[in-house]
A and B are shown apart, each in its own frame.
Chain A
Amino acid sequence: MTTMKPGSRGADKPTDKPGAKPAPKLVKKGLGEVDDRFGTAGFLKRNLNKVFPDHWSFMLGEIALYSFVILLLSGTFLTFFFRPGTNEVIYQGNYTPLRGLHMTEAFASTLRISFDVRGGLIIRQIHHWAALIFMAAIVAHCCRIFFTGAFRKPRETNWLIGVGLVSLGLLEGFAGYSLPDDLLSGTGLRIAYGIVEAIPVVGTYLGSFVFGGQFPGPDFIPRLFTIHILLVPAILLSLITAHMLIMWHQKHTQWPGEHRTNNNVVGAPFYPAFMAKTGGFFFATFAVTAAISGLVQVNPVWLYGPYNPMQVGAGSQPDFYIGWLEGSLRMMPNLETHVDGHTISWNVLIPAVVLPGILFTAMAMYPFIEAWVTRDYAAHNICDRPRNRPGRTALGVAVLTELGVLLLAGGNDVLSEKYDISLYATTRIFQLAFFVLPPLAFMATRRICLGLQRRDVHSAEHGYETGRIVMLANGEFIEVESALPEDVVARMGLEYRQGPPPPLEPAVDEHGVRSRLRHSAIEKVRGKLGDYLYEQDAEPPPNGHGGHANGHALDGSDHEQPKLTTGSDD
């Protein structure tokens, strides 16, 4: 084993990279000290150069990540002042309209933060706005991952972690805004207890154990506090770390384009360009959050008053990420069955337990379902353009439409009041929309995707219309079409479109024996799904070029139509 004097690794040494500038002694010395202890140099050499692709849609997850950081920072400040007590106090603070009233210590300390602590209100608002932006960004990011197929192998685990993050984020937000124990959020907690109570067999026990007795339970706010500041943030932090590390290790996906293949990454190196971009984006996220917090009021608990089980306000709304559950509770018909001295409350179970259960389970299983239907088990590092996957895109839009209907239904009383629509009419309209709009959205989206594909193929083949009209010698008028640049065609990703998966084996083999696999019920289902969802319409219409019967490039050049592929890429 060689002994090294301190600082000896900084000595000049010929580099094996001709043309590279040798590093200054000081940098090598500093790096050397760290490297001696951790072996950092190897890590840095490999990872500082890591290439990250450049597209704005890849930064949606960063909005969520940086909002989380803002939540941690602002939340820590709040914990220095918030007291999660359900003991009753008489308020004597700065806010006169509530002075002298009995309220819980939780509410009183929230008032103190808002009205007595300098900077308290801005930090409280930053915390709440950051939570709203966090959830909105997660939804946007989730949509981006879904519509570009970035959940496919090898990224299924990251997708599962993501589903976990969405659900935990929802829980965390609900817990957070319920902590101040104001009239609005207390009503929400009452509803939550009612939902838990409705669960068959274990509901009342679950409610009693979670809340510490009947509603409201003296221990509930303190428990919610522990959950909100310790348990869930810890799990979120570890899941987010895992999420980032997996993404780092597997490298980011990229859009199709020139020089971009399934086996490389094109973009900018991590250090310094990407670091600067993402660092700047962190500050931008914080700045936007701070600006909104300074200018727009959020969750004004002093207007709602302290929680009192006898009181409620009209137009009570949860935060938007819970809004879809509120809507489903409102829209559900009042079904209840009484069996043998027991009650099963379908009116509460279906909207508040079954529906989210189905949604999150389906989300979690989706990568595996899609892989099974398409029989595509290869690794994919190129993003799909949504139009190139009409089935998946249409399904996603239909689900989003459904959630949108439920979200709006959750605010039906506000809509009724603001826009003068009969309250009961809004209920009926949303009940109808729940069944009618998603299939319509599915069909419309699918057709739009197929149409856009057709346009892409046409453009790749014929070029784009220049708007120049030219008269030919024989008197005929044509519009000149100019070939698209190579990189534009490459970005269309036409070679990544997918038709229905090929059959596993022929229906009848060479001896004339019918294939049992092909005729099994499951395979039939898979076949139908694949055919329908992945039906391609990228061949030009049978009557030639449609409206562009005379469209040519002036030089008569022709682009070869890209071939369809199925299954994995090269």
Chain B
Amino acid sequence: MSDHVPTESGGSLDLPDADVGSPVRPPIIERVIRPQDADPKRADRAERWIALMFLASAAGTVAFVVFYLAIPSLHTIGQVHASNVLLGCSLAVSLGGLGAGMIAWVRWLMPAHESVQERHELAASDDDLETAAQVIMAGLEETGLARRSLLKRSLGLAMGLFALPAVLLLRDLGPLPRKSLDTTLWKKGSLLLNAETGEPVKLGDLEIGSFTTVLPLKVDDPLMNEEELSKAPVLLIRLEPGLNKPAPGREGWDFEGHVAYSKICTHVGCPIGLYQKQSHKLLCPCHQSTFDVPRACKVVFGPAARALPQLPISVNSNGEFVATAGFDQPVGPSFFERS
């Protein structure tokens, strides 16, 4: 037992009663003697337990292979379920056995002595710092940048510009927004088509307290791509007669208690499918923005700041609902260019 323990860097650690241990290993400052260190029989027993864990792992691996092959095809959900549970659990045993065994091996059999190691000063010596700084300066001197300002400035220009192509190549990632966000496929004369069947909605199809989702064109129409489909859905709602209070300038936008509003929430764009018939409110399920249908869908709760855009509707001679014009404003979330 020595008091001064030599360290790698040539210094020494002052550790009373330190045990150097093996000279190629870090010095030990606390010897820990566990029951199994003192008694070889216990150590053997620990070894057997660890072996059991490794064997369990092997068994788990075999089980995985068996289960994988035993369920050759997945036709029913029951088979998928069984496969998932069996494969997952056998994998867990296979990996867990290895993990537990390795951890147990360290804790029970490998030496548990506490070793100590000195931290080297991270910073280099003052001389090294000075030398490094001088190397940098000497190299800079060799570049001649300090003297040659023409070189420096032209280099600056070239370096400053050279990355521009990379930025410019991104231009065709997407089209310029232009007016695309301002318009939808709805226009004067668009029939209100049932979103599922594509059939025009007729007067009398909806009962009082009903609402349905309508589109200006069928879903498989060539003009109806995904982008237009994200702006086109409209809710046709039938209110009790006399309930609707049209906003100024919107008299005639409703028809016999039927009103049509954009389905796309003006907060961040979720479709609003939630109509509470008794309170005549539309509730967006994403962030709980609530719109008062009889009052031009103005916002009564939640983070949306704009009322839902209204689609003016009427009924044609065939009894089918038609839009008498497109939307008078962009639908969906607000954006900077929207007034």
Write the residues of chain A forming the contact surface with B, with a CB cutoff of 8 angstroms.
17-20, 46, 49-51, 86, 94-95, 114-116, 118-119, 121-122, 125-126, 154, 187, 190-191, 193-195, 197-201, 203-205, 207-219, 249-251, 259, 262-269, 272-273, 276-277, 279-288, 290-291, 293-295, 309-316, 326, 329-336, 338, 341-345, 347-348, 351, 379, 381, 412-413, 423-424, 427
B24 within 8 A of partner (CB): yes
CB of B226 to closest CB in A, whole Å? 5
A210–B173 contact, CB under 8 A? Answer: yes
B residues 68-109 in Cβ contact with A at 8 Å: 68, 71-72, 74-75, 77, 80, 83-89, 91-96, 98-103, 105-106
A413 touching B285, Cβ below 8 Å = yes
B window 190-222: CB within 8 A of A: 195, 213
Say yes or no: is B244 at the interface (Cβ < 8 Å to chain A).
Answer: no
Report A-chain residues with C-beta under 8 Å of the C-beta of B15: 259
Cβ B304 vs Cβ A269 within 8 A: no
In the complex, the number of residue pairs spanning A and B with C-beta atoms less than 8 Å apart equals 310
List of B residues within 8 angstroms of A348 by Cβ? 267-268, 303, 333-334
Closest 3 CB pairs of A and B: A294-B88, A194-B268, A283-B99
Residue of B nearest to A211 (CB): B174
Residue of B nearest to A213 (CB): B174
Residue of B nearest to A19 (CB): B23
Chain B positions 111 through 129: 1 when the CB is less than 8 Å from some CB of chain A, otherwise 0: 1101111110010000000
A218-B226, A273-B110, A287-B95 given; name 14 further pairs at CB < 8 Å. A51-B26, A122-B83, A122-B87, A125-B84, A193-B269, A208-B175, A287-B99, A294-B84, A314-B274, A329-B267, A330-B288, A335-B305, A342-B336, A348-B334
Contact of A125 with B177 in the complex, beta carbons under 8 Å: no
Is there an interface contact between A329 and B303, defined as CB atoms closer than 8 Å? yes
Q: Nearest A residue to B230 by beta-carbon distance?
A: A309
Q: Are B95 and A343 interface neighbours, CB within 8 A?
A: no
Q: What B residues does A309 contact at CB under 8 A?
A: 226, 229-230, 233, 271
Q: Is B263 an interface residue (CB 8 A)?
A: yes
Do A342 and B338 touch (CB < 8 A)?
Answer: yes
Contact status B100-A345, CB under 8 Å: no
Partner of A279, one of B96, B102, B177, B289: B102
Question: With A and B bound together, what is the CA distance between A411 and B87 in angstroms?
Answer: 32
Whole-angstrom CA separation of A125 from B83 in the bound complex = 13
- Shortest beta-carbon distance from B262 to chain A in Å: 11
Are B96 and A284 in contact (CB-based, < 8 A)?
Answer: yes
A379 to B120, CA, bound (A): 12
Is A424 a contact partner of B99 (Cβ separation < 8 A)? Answer: no
CB < 8 Å: which of A116, A285, A310, A344 contacts B233? A310
Known: A276-B106, A276-B110, A335-B305. A217 touches B115 (CB 8 A): no
Nearest A residue (CB) for B57: A283
* Closest Cβ–Cβ distance, residue B336 to chain A (whole Å): 5
Query: Does the CB pair A266–B29 fall under 8 Å?
Result: yes
The CA-CA distance from A198 to B71 in the complex, in Å, is 51
B74, A116: Cβ atoms closer than 8 Å: yes
Closest chain A residue to B21, Cβ basis: A19
A358: shortest Cβ distance to chain B, in Å?
Answer: 19
Pair A268/B270 contact, Cβ less than 8 Å: no
CB distance from A47 to the nearest CB of B (A): 11
Contact B83 A118 (CB under 8 A): yes
Q: Is the CB of B287 within 8 A of A330?
A: yes
Docked CA distance A198–B83 (Å): 46
A204, B330: Cα distance in complex, Å: 13
Return chain B residues, CB-CB under 8 Å to A94.
74-75, 80
A508 CB, min distance to chain B CBs, angstroms: 36
Contact B335–A119 (Cβ < 8 Å): no
Chain B residues 294 to 311 lying within 8 A of chain A, measured CB to CB, are: 299, 301-306
A204 and B337 contact, CB distance less than 8 A: yes
Quick one: given A94-B75, A204-B336, A276-B110, are A191 and B286 in contact (CB under 8 Å)?
Answer: yes
Distance in angstroms between the alpha carbons of A290 and B287 in the assembled complex: 34
Give residues of chain B (1-15) contacting chain A, Cβ–Cβ below 8 Å: 8, 13, 15
Contact of B96 among A272, A273, A291 (CB under 8 A): A291
Contact of B102 among A95, A283, A295, A423 (CB under 8 A): A283
CB-defined A-B contacts under 8 Å, sample of 6? A20-B22, A194-B267, A214-B230, A272-B110, A283-B98, A336-B334
Q: Indicate if the CB atoms of B271 and A311 lie closer than 8 Å.
A: yes
- Which residue from B92, B287, B303, B336 sits with its C-beta under 8 Å from A291? B92
Which residue of A has the minimal Cβ distance to B233?
A: A310
Contacts A195-B268, A214-B227: A423 and B288 contacting too (C-beta < 8 A)?
A: yes
Known contacts A187-B286, A316-B285, A343-B339, A264 near B119 by CB under 8 Å: yes
Contact residue among A203, A310, A334 (Cβ-Cβ distance under 8 Å from B335): A203
Contact B299 A204, beta carbon cutoff 8 Å:
no
Question: What distance in Å separates the Cβ of A298 from its nearest Cβ neighbour in chain B?
Answer: 11
Is the pair A295, B85 in contact by a Cβ cutoff of 8 Å?
A: yes
| A199 to B268 alpha-carbon distance, docked (Å) | 12
What residues of A have a CB within 8 angstroms of the CB of B328 in the complex? Answer: none
Note all chain A residues with C-beta closer than 8 A to B80.
94, 114-115, 121
Alpha-carbon separation in the docked complex, A200 to B13 (Å):
62
In the bound complex, CA of A125 to CA of B170 (Å)? 35
The interface residues of chain B lying within 8 Å CB-to-CB of A345 are 305, 333-335
Q: B119 — which chain A residues lie within 8 A by C-beta?
A: 251, 262-265, 381
Cβ of A219: which chain B residues have Cβ within 8 Å of it? 173-174
- B36 at the A/B interface (Cβ < 8 Å)? no
Please give, as numbers and ranges, the residues of chain B lying within 8 Å of A288 by CB-CB distance: 92, 96
CA–CA, A413 to B287, complex, Å?
Answer: 9
* Residue B181 at the chain A interface, CB threshold 8 Å: yes
Task: Please report the C-alpha to C-alpha distance between residue A187 and residue B265 in the assembled complex, in whole angstroms.
Answer: 12
- Taken together as a complex, chains A and B put the C-alpha atoms of A338 and B177 apart, in Å, by 20
Asked whether, in the complex, the Cβ of B337 is within 8 Å of the Cβ of A342, the reply is: yes
Choose from A119, A195, A272, A284 the contact partner of B87 (Cβ within 8 Å). Answer: A119
Decide if A208 touches B176 in the complex (CB within 8 Å): yes
CA distance A544 to B285 in the complex (A): 61
Rounded to whole angstroms, the CA-CA distance of A200 and B336 in the bound complex is 5
User: Which chain B residues (229-258) contact chain A, with CB distance < 8 Å?
Assistant: 229-231, 233
Residues of B within 8 A of A272 (CB): 106, 110
